[in-house]
């Protein structure tokens, strides 16, 4: 079993089930003691901003703010550099604990010997 789980979520409210699945799998990984790195890309980039996760709704799914809080507390959350730039999001705008990094860092994490990468 991989010691690190790297998850890239590309969807936001427009693909709510896929988005929720990514956050849920990441949060379950953290709760299971797995080292988790969640990458926010595409429309999920907005969840790096305060209050945006609270706007997300999906019946019968765990609340996105709770999942995000658990990831910020026990894992790592990264916002894609290019995605942030396209949305005029800067480091001063994001939630405490969210870092901004680019594709080189994602590839480095995903290709580590002890890593399993998933894309939603």
> Domains in the chain, start-ordered, CATH in brackets?
2-117 (3.40.1260.10)
Pairing mode of beta strands 115-119, 4-9: parallel
pLDDT at residue 52 in the model? 98
Distance CA 36, CA 42 (A): 19
DSSP state string for 61-104: S--HHHHHHHHHHHSEEEEEHHHHHHTT--TTTSPTTEEEE-HH
DSSP structural state of residue 115: E
Read off the pTM: 0.95
Which has the closest alpha carbon to 37: 27, 50, 47?
27
State pLDDT tens for residues 92-108: 999 999 999 999 999 99
State pLDDT tens for residues 6-34: 999 999 999 999 999 999 999 999 999 99
């Amino acid at each position: 079993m991989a010691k690190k789980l790297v998850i890239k979520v590309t969807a936001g409210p427009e693909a709510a089930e896929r988005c929720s699945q990514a956050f849920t799998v990441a949060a379950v990984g953290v709760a299971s003691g797995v080292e988790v790195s969640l990458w926010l890309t595409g429309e999920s980039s907005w969840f790096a901003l305060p209050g945006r996760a609270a706007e997300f709704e999906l019946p019968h799914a765990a609340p996105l703010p709770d999942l995000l809080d658990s990831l910020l507390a026990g894992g790592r959350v990264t916002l894609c550099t290019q995605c942030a730039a396209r949305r005029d999001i800067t480091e001063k705008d994001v939630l405490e604990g969210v870092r901004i990094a680019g594709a080189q860092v994602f590839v480095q994490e995903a290709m580590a010997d002890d890593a399993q990468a998933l894309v939603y």
